[in-house]
């Protein structure tokens, strides 16, 4: 046993647990699609339905937004899920010989 009394021991314990506990929320990532001149509109709509759970109307609205503005958000996810979506969409586009580009950015 140490030669500190109970109060001194408690005080020492307090010192080590003094750092404030500030849990940070894990960052979220936007998955984005970029416009290009070659990928067919129907293919982009299919991607938005197939991989981002959109219905026909929502997918068409987002596709047209990207077509007119150059870029658009498909969804917001944890880092792991966003990375996986980007990989799957880019692989799928390449497999179908389209230049469509999917990317992600911190939300």
In this structure, what DSSP letter does residue 89 have? H
Nearer to ligand TYC (CB atom), residue 20 or residue 38: 38
Rule CB under 6 A: say whether 45 interacts with ligand TYC. Answer: no
How many residues belong to the site for ligand TYC (CB under 6 A)?
Answer: 13
Q: How far apart are CA 41 and CA 63, in angstroms?
A: 7
Helix (H) or strand (E) holding 75: strand 71-78
Nearer to ligand TYC (CB atom), residue 35 or residue 84: 35
CA torsion through residues 24, 31, 79, 77, sign: positive
Rule CB under 6 A: say whether 99 interacts with ligand TYC. Answer: no
Rule CB under 6 A: say whether 36 interacts with ligand TYC. Answer: yes
Rule CB under 6 A: say whether 41 interacts with ligand TYC. Answer: yes
Rule CB under 6 A: say whether 100 interacts with ligand TYC. Answer: yes
C-beta of residue 85 within 8 angstroms of C-beta of residue 75: yes
């Amino acid at each position: 046993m140490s030669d500190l009394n109970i109060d001194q021991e408690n005080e020492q314990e307090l010192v080590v647990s003094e750092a404030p506990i500030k849990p940070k929320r894990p960052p979220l990532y936007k998955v984005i699609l970029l416009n290009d001149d070659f990928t067919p509109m129907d293919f982009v709509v299919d991607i938005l339905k197939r991989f981002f759970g959109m219905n026909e109307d929502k997918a068409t609205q987002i596709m047209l937004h990207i077509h007119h503005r150059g870029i658009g958000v498909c969804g917001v996810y944890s880092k792991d899920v966003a990375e996986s979506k980007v990989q799957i969409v880019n692989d799928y586009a390449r497999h179908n010989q389209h230049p469509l580009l999917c990317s992600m950015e911190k939300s």
